[in-house]
Amino acid sequence: MRPPEEIEDIILRKVFLVKLVDSMEDDSRVVYLERTAAELLNEDKDFRLSRDLLERVLVDRLTGNFLNAEPPVRYLVNCYRRASEEGRKIASMKDKNVRSEMEFVLKQAKNFAASYCRIALGTPDMFPNSDAVAGTNSPLLPLILSAVDGFGNNGDAAPPGFLEELFREGDYDSVEPIMKQLYKDLSGSVLKVSALGNFQQPLRAVLMLINFPVGAKSLVSHPQWIPNPAYINGRLIEVASILGPFFHVSALPDHNTLYKSQPDVGQQCFSDSSQCRPGANVLSSSTTIRTVMNSLNDGLAEVMRSLLKNANTRENVLQFLAVVINKNTARAHMQVDPSSCASTGMFVNLSSVMLRLCEPFLDANLTKRDKIDPKYVFHGTRLELRGLTSLHASSEEVNEWLLRNNDCKENGKFHFISECFFMTARAVNLGLLKAFSEWNNLGRNIARCKEKLSALKKMQGQTPCEHLQQNIASLEKTIGLYSQEESCYEAQVLRDTGLVQRALSFYRLMLVWLVDLVGGFKMPLASTCPLHFAAMPEHFVDDAMELVIYASRIPKALDGVELDDFMNFIVMFMASPDFVRNPYLRAKMVEVLKMLMPRNKGSSAMATLFESHQLSLEYLVRNLLKLYVDIEFTGSHGQFYDKFNIRHDIAELLEYLWQVPRHRTAWRQIAKEEEKGFYLNFVNFLINDSIYLLDESLNKILEMKELEAEMANKVEWERRSGQEKQERTRRFQSLEKLIRVDMKMANEDVRMLGFTTQEITAPFLLPEMVERVASMLNYFLLQLVGPQRNSLSLKDPERYEFRPKILVKQIVDMYVNLSRGDTESVFTVAIAKDCRSYSEQIFSGAADVLGKIGEDAKIIQEFRNLGEKAKAAATEAMDAETALGEIPDEFLDPIQYTLMRDPVILPSSRITIDRLVIQRHLLSDSTDPFNRSRLTADMLIPNNELKAKIEEFVQSRESKLRGKDLS
């Protein structure tokens, strides 16, 4: 048995690959330490390695310039590895005392190896031939990447326990420069990596490093944790920060070519996406992308969670998130500059990570929502929220309120839930919701390009030329690229139902929390809007609505999602301009309802939402009718056209609700209670829109038929210039679209007039309304069955949603419905009074059409009877007009030029006008028609003196007529 000193010498020589006697050695790695040997000789000591010589030996080995020697870091790591191997060997020693001594020696050897490794990495110029060279990757990087892949026994991996001893045992000052280089290397390794590249190893390495206390502190203290905010924009925080490149990893296209990631996901996975339906390969690629992106976001969320749980690093994480968000607020703009803003890929990942961080307070009952402090919007110093458009309050109102209430929050400190909530709302607005919008725009661009391509191919078929062929090839390439991008969005975002459902859970919390600010889910709302609600950013609600709209287009995305709170919120606020100022935001709530509306009869979750929901049953119809009126005045330059689309959505919803007995009962009650209130305005605008849309459709049909005739005349057509032919062709195609759109909306309006007049006639027969209704019905009947009806015939009317026979039937049904409720014959008189369109022939012509299409004989007879009554009323009206003779100008209404029956004075312009005429005007416009000043019905001043004169005039003329009759 060898003595312990000899065993120790043998073990240490094996570990450190050194010798103190210059002898021939089989292993070329073994180095002769001449300096140490000389020192031992002078000290009269044995040439044996021992624990006492360890540091001298290491310094000599590391500072010497030995031929073929391993560089310092690699050498020290391998020393640690060999020490571990020797430790396994001595485990079988029988002598416990010797074994214990050798274990102690090897522990020291490891300790020295790790300690000097820290020195070699932290101050690489201390030792010659250093492998830790400035400007290159840390020599630890491959060891760490191998370690996180679980290949600990691999020669390229760190030996077991080495990294723990290197980082856990070292003090911060010695480890920090090592960590600093590692984080920079790991970040750089994923800078231009796409979803199909290797980001997993570097991300796992970051996770491993932050599990060391010194690693977490080093990360958030890194100069590139947040590069100097004074000199960076949104794009630079993405590429220059440590975590930014990890968030940049994505399948989504990045239009900044400097940072385009590889492999190209669109090219590799979806190169044929414009040519065919999604096949197995496309679906497989989508699944792969979704899987790897969830892996990325799970890892990033784990990094954030770990740092946020640590009180020493939490603040740094919140600062990083705030800088990323604040530097990228321009992503909310319609056009995003990719050189100054972070990529959509980064912000979709940020959205996904933030939603994961919110999960602890997204429980079913939202029990932690009271931790979300609304004062964060006023006093939070981290996010730039005060400049955002609010739901209702102006910045002046907020400032005044803050001064008046002396409302302050010390040091701007808020609970983490508040921080996380508001940051998530901002991140999702700039990320996930922006991605949905970009995907939508891609779809529009593809449709537009395909339409243009079709037209070019048609022209090429008629007049082939090289220039056209080049344009066709260019368009086909563009469509291919757009289609690849669209597929990338669908793979990463739209097919990720987990991401969408997490977002829906978050926005359910958002809406419930907002409703808490006004006192909870109850109606009617208070007369004044609390400022805490009014000052909330408008996009909080807008994003919630957008998300449901997009989710409704994704199969199964809404399955199992709690939508009652969304419905409650919409019912409460869509007709409440004093709480939600923006009419387009309230209109978007209608769009949500339309997307959720059941399409088929029978019970379903959506049907329950509309048909059994308490607030819905009480207020949905009322608020839809109110919004139909309110939307007349959106304040937008495009309001005239916008209102038709919005009202069309409302009309579709109302038609569905009319079929639900409880909603129909509520509707009838509203019509009775608000007969001269907002329901009269609703009827007025419904009639206005019907007239405009049907008239526009019919006029466009006439114009289109003229163009059709021009193009059919081949001789004349070929004489036109190429440019003129293109312009005329484009106009023809435009008319086709416009007719389809206008006619679709007109049909909906006419349908609604038809079914509502079955049970609600009183508002239509009011004095200020009845003449307009009669004129409208007469005019359209004249167009459809009068002398010009043949000019509206189309080869394929169904293509344009033009169904003249059905329209005639619907219009006749309205005549009959109103005549049944016309107990005082005001409708009959109004029909006959219409000089522009009324004639006996339109009634007989319409009756003939009804007979041909098999209409109910009873309806036809009622309609014929109404025609006879109208004929008699027309004769009587003519006699009365003859009796009056020439009417003095002062008795004539200045707008209609008819005899005033109840003259009133307008308070501002002082002009006298007939009460019925001005009341009809005020239904659509609350201003004086002569000077546009504000005007309401209660402001009208009766002109009693003039009224007396008019009555005297009428009586005198009637007396003269009776006198003539008697004579």
Per-residue pLDDT, 155: 54
pLDDT given at position 406: 66
Residue 965 is predicted with a pLDDT of 55
Q: Which of 126-130, 462-466, 488-492 has maximum average pLDDT?
A: 488-492
Report whether pLDDT(286) > 70. Answer: yes
Burial class of residue 640 (count of CB atoms within 10 Å of its CB; 0-12, 13-18, 19+): exposed
Q: What is the pLDDT of residue 409?
A: 55
So what's the pLDDT on residue 643? 87
Residue 576: what pLDDT? 94
Q: Calculate Rg over the CA atoms of the chain.
A: 41
Query: According to the model, what pLDDT value does residue 925 have?
Result: 83
pLDDT of residue 407: 57
User: Which residue in the block uniquely carries the two structure tokens 């009419």?
Assistant: 583
Predicted pLDDT of residue 150: 58
Q: Report residue 636's pLDDT band, with 50, 70 and 90 as the boundaries.
A: low
- What pLDDT is recorded for position 73? 92
Both structure tokens of 476: 């086909």
Angle of the 172-189 helix axis to the 141-148 helix axis, nearest 10: 70
Note the pLDDT of residue 276.
47
Over residues 744-758, the mean pLDDT reads 93
Q: Does the pLDDT of residue 581 top 80, yes or no?
A: yes
Encode pLDDT of 216-262 as tens digits.
Answer: 999 999 999 999 877 889 999 999 999 999 999 999 999 888 888 99
- Mean pLDDT over 948-963 rounds to 77
Q: Can you tell me the mean pLDDT for 331-350?
A: 95
Least confident of 349-363, 518-532, 839-853, 944-958: 944-958
Q: How far apart are CA 58 and CA 79, in angstroms?
A: 10
Task: Encode pLDDT of 117-172 as tens digits.
Answer: 999 998 888 888 888 777 788 999 999 998 887 544 455 678 999 999 999 877 88
**pLDDT value at position 151?**
45
Look at strands 903-905 and 941-942 and give their pairing: antiparallel
Can you tell me the mean pLDDT for 676-703?
91
Exposure b/e, 333-348, CB count within 10 A at least 16 = b: eeebebeebbbbbbbb
pLDDT digits (tens, 9 = 90+) for 172-194: 888 999 999 999 999 999 999 99
Task: Give the distance, in angstroms, between the CA of residue 881 and the centroid of all CA atoms in the same chain.
Answer: 62
C-alpha distances (whole Å) from 133 to each of 71, 119, 130 are: 11, 13, 7
Tell me: pLDDT of 659 over 90.
Answer: yes
The pLDDT score that the predictor gives to residue 153 is 45
Give the pair of three-digit tokens for residue 531. 């400022």
Give the residue-averaged pLDDT of 374-381: 90
Q: How far apart are CA 490 and CA 507, in angstroms?
A: 21
Confidence of residue 967 (pLDDT cuts 50, 70, 90): low
- Report H helices in 713-766: 714-719, 722-756
**pLDDT greater than 90 at residue 964:** no
pLDDT at 410: 53
Mean pLDDT of the chain: 89
Torsion of CA 23, 28, 30, 33, to 10 degrees: 60
pLDDT digits (tens, 9 = 90+) for 883-925: 677 888 888 889 888 888 889 999 999 999 988 888 888 888 8
56, HSE (Cβ side, Cα atoms, 13 Å): 16
At residue 152, the pLDDT reads: 43
SS3 532: helix
Task: Report how far residue 574's alpha carbon sits from residue 619's, in angstroms, rounded to the nearest whole number.
Answer: 11
Q: Which two tokens stand for residue 527?
A: 């007369």
What was the pLDDT predicted at 961?
62
Given a cut of 60, is residue 274 above it in pLDDT? no
Pinpoint the alpha helices (H) of 530-677.
531-534, 538-551, 564-573, 583-596, 605-611, 614-630, 639-658, 661-673
CA distance 872 to 764: 22
Q: Which residues make Cβ contacts (< 8 Å) with residue 58, sequence separation at least 6? A: 16, 112, 113, 116
Mark 164-193 as b/e (b = at least 16 C-beta within 10 Å): ebbbeebeeebbbbbbbbbbbbbbebbbbb
Instruction: In whole angstroms, give the CA distance from residue 384 to residue 403.
Output: 20
Sorting pLDDT into bands at 50, 70 and 90, what band is 708?
confident
In this prediction, residue 588 carries a pLDDT of: 95
Say yes or no to pLDDT of 345 above 90: yes
Beta bridge partners of residue 934, listed in sequence order: 927
C-alpha span between 222 and 935 (Å, rounded) = 66
pLDDT score at 599: 80
Query: Percent of the chain having pLDDT more than 70?
Result: 95
CA 61 to each of CA 64, 106, 171: distance values in angstroms, whole numbers, following the listed order:
5, 18, 24
Share of the chain above pLDDT 90, in %: 57
**Of 618, 627, 537, nearest in space to 576 by CA:** 627
